[in-house]
Structure 1
Amino acid sequence: MNATFLSSGDLLIDRRAHYAQMLADAGDFHAAADLMAQTLAKAPDWAAGWMMKGQFSLKSGALGEAIADWQHAAELDPSGTLGAQMHLAAHGIADVEPETQAAYVEALFDQYADHFETALLQKLDYVVPGKLQAMIAESMAAFALEGFARGIDLGCGTGLMGERLRHAVSHLVGVDLSGAMVAETARKDIYDALERAELLNFLIEPGRVADLVTAADVFMYCPSLPPIFAAVHGVLREGGMFAFSIERHAGPEDQVLQDSLRYAHNGDVVRQTLAGLGFEVVAVAEEVIRQDRGVPVMGMLFVARKPEQTLAATEIAEAEAMDAPAPVLH
């Protein structure tokens, strides 16, 4: 999150912070950090100022100072909207509580809502919605599907994925944590319904049902995927599809929180998790999904399917539910 848009409430302090940002933009991070230190001596309770200094300290090579700066910011912003706790976690200082993670993500996308598409499409070469759409279409053809009755687009943002699904889904619901994103998307008339909600809470509400669930560039803001995958499996009808992307982590860990404050997930672990929950992995692609400060970001795109139960499997499940002897299979 860019903390510079948050004023200290003092014009002179804000002006000094602006000068510090100009120094940083010119590449003089040492001078920027020094000027912010002087500025914060006069405004020690300005959480966004400590976030700025943390960034300047980090880029000047002073990680220890950056950590101290983020600790100051975390004390002043306990809700976590500025992301100080996320930075500390990314450097192994502390874990992030789910509420803090959600507060950061909500604030981040509320800030970006009005220029989100411009940034993604024109500056970051974002390709996930189009790639996922193509993979979904190929999977539909493979299973002779003409369309989906009900769809859910998780983390719908401004509707970049939803507009590509509209022709194939009779009733499409968009869900996003950011109220500003939901308001921006509502003006486009893409979805049959829009909800502002945390995605796991949305999925586990009684009565949720879908034939297609998508999540384009959503799970990089989610540290733990198994509970979400399980909830999606519970929502999908038999034969339903689940299409999503991840940032790829090539190391042995299940996932890592990167300096970008996005999570990268291990593709092999994702496959194993899907299979363990009963999904059939239909398609996987490795792609450069966007640029980040001029550096390609590698990702993986998945289409998984909830298989239909065979008649025998259905009879076994019903027998177990009734605590009766299961039928003998021949």
Structure 2
Amino acid sequence: MHSSGDLLADRRYAYAEASFREGDLEAAADLARQTVEIAPRFAPAWFLLGEAREAQYRAARSTDEGVEAYREAVKAFEMALLRDPEDAQGARLRLASLGIGDPLEAMSPDYIRRLFDDYAVRFDRHLTVSLKYRAPEVLHEAVRRAASRGLRDFRFARALDLGCGTGLAGEVFRPVCGHLAGVDLSPAMVERARRKKVYDELAAGELVEWLSGRPDASADLVLATDVFVYVADLAPVFSEAARVLARGGLLGFTVQDHEGRGVVLGGDMRYAHAQEHILELAVEAGLRLLLSEAGAMREDRGQPVPGRVFVLGR
């Protein structure tokens, strides 16, 4: 639990959290206000106030009610960001969803790290059971078919798994990889992957930085399953992947798809990349398209999330 260092403020904050979970937005907002009055530097309470007021804004039944809730939500998220410049809770994302700031620069590494550190313990079961996650299997089949089209064996001496998480993709691809290395921003996720003994090499770090430290033409396969939903600008990723891939190597990945142009931040606080945009980036990086297919990789609230699997060749 977050702590402000003040027992009374912490108690108010705990009540506010409970009220928010139960859907009592008025009580959650009131208790969060009381918390920040006691502990004005406590970023989580400001963020919770923003969440409660944003929910009230979206459910407002009158213009005046909506405007008041919107203004307080924006102020609360701005205060949360002021108190936590590293933005571990994602205040920039929430502001972007309210039309404030650049959505393509809204997702901080600290937010992603904290999100998945907290998620690591229940990650596998929640994804595979609750969300019916199947990106690793979809990508495995796509890479197999792309390898066949490219007249190459479906075996890879050196493979890299970007945003490896707990190793769900690593488990699926391990039988066809000689040496398998993985990287993830979350140390807790990397530790979970390590326990599976699937990878020959693991690192906790930012994926472009990690790729940039690897030698030219040192990989035959680069994977990224459901990772690019947290990356707005894929150009540096494609550029580094093209550099580290040997001739004939493959870059396989999944994305959240949308029918418009470019990159958008969705209501689920994830990035969706249009197919045309992906193909433009591929050409710029010197990669060629081998396969592109639409399909849901997971569900959200029981509904399939539009997705697409790509395999690019070096």
Please say whether Structure 1 and Structure 2 have the same fold, judged by a TM-score greater than 0.5.
yes
Q: What corresponds to 1:233 in structure 2? A: 242
1:76 to 80, 83, 87: 83
- Is the CA contact 1:81–1:100 (under 8 Å) kept in the aligned structure 2? no
Instruction: Quote the Cα distance in structure 2 between the aligned partners of 1:184 and 1:99.
Output: 27
Q: What corresponds to 2:73 in structure 1? A: 66
- Is the CA contact 1:87–1:259 (under 8 Å) kept in the aligned structure 2? no
Pairing 1:260–2:256 present:
no
Pairing 1:30–2:26 present:
yes
Deviation at 1:97, TM superposition (A): 9.3
Task: Please list, as runs of the form range in 1=range in 2, the aligned pairs for 1:273-312 lying within 5 A after superposition.
Answer: 273-306=281-314
Q: What corresponds to 1:164 in structure 2? A: 172
User: TM-score, normalization: structure 1?
Assistant: 0.85
Instruction: Quote the Cα distance in structure 2 between the aligned partners of 1:294 and 1:44.
Output: 39
Instruction: Quote the Cα distance in structure 2 between the aligned partners of 1:287 and 1:97.
Output: 24
Residue identity (%): 39
- Letter of the aligned partner of 2:18 in structure 1? M
- Is the CA contact 1:149–1:170 (under 8 Å) kept in the aligned structure 2? yes
Q: What corresponds to 2:47 in structure 1? A: 51
Instruction: Quote the Cα distance in structure 2 between the aligned partners of 1:42 and 1:92.
Output: 30
1:128 to 132, 135, 139: 135
Of structures 1 and 2, the larger Rg is shown by 1
Instruction: Quote the Cα distance in structure 2 between the aligned partners of 1:170 and 1:264.
Output: 32
Distance change (3 Å), C-alpha of 1:97 and 1:282 = closer
- Is the CA contact 1:79–1:100 (under 8 Å) kept in the aligned structure 2? no
Considering only aligned residues, what root-mean-square deviation do their CA atoms show, in Å?
2.0
Of residues 78-87 and 9-18 in structure 1, the stretch that sits farther from structure 2 once superposed is 9-18
Pairing 1:205–2:250 present:
no
Instruction: Quote the Cα distance in structure 2 between the aligned partners of 1:297 and 1:222.
Output: 17
User: TM-score, normalization: structure 2?
Assistant: 0.89
Pairing 1:175–2:183 present:
yes
- Letter of the aligned partner of 1:31 in structure 2? A
- Is the CA contact 1:249–1:266 (under 8 Å) kept in the aligned structure 2? yes
Q: Which runs of 4+ in 1 moved over 6 A?
A: 96-100
What secondary structure is seen at the aligned counterpart in 2 of 1:187?
A: helix
Structure 1: state its 5+ residue gaps. 307-330
- Is the CA contact 2:132–2:299 (under 8 Å) kept in the aligned structure 1? yes
Deviation at 1:158, TM superposition (A): 0.3
- Letter of the aligned partner of 1:57 in structure 2? R
Q: What corresponds to 2:66 in structure 1? A: none
Deviation at 1:172, TM superposition (A): 0.5
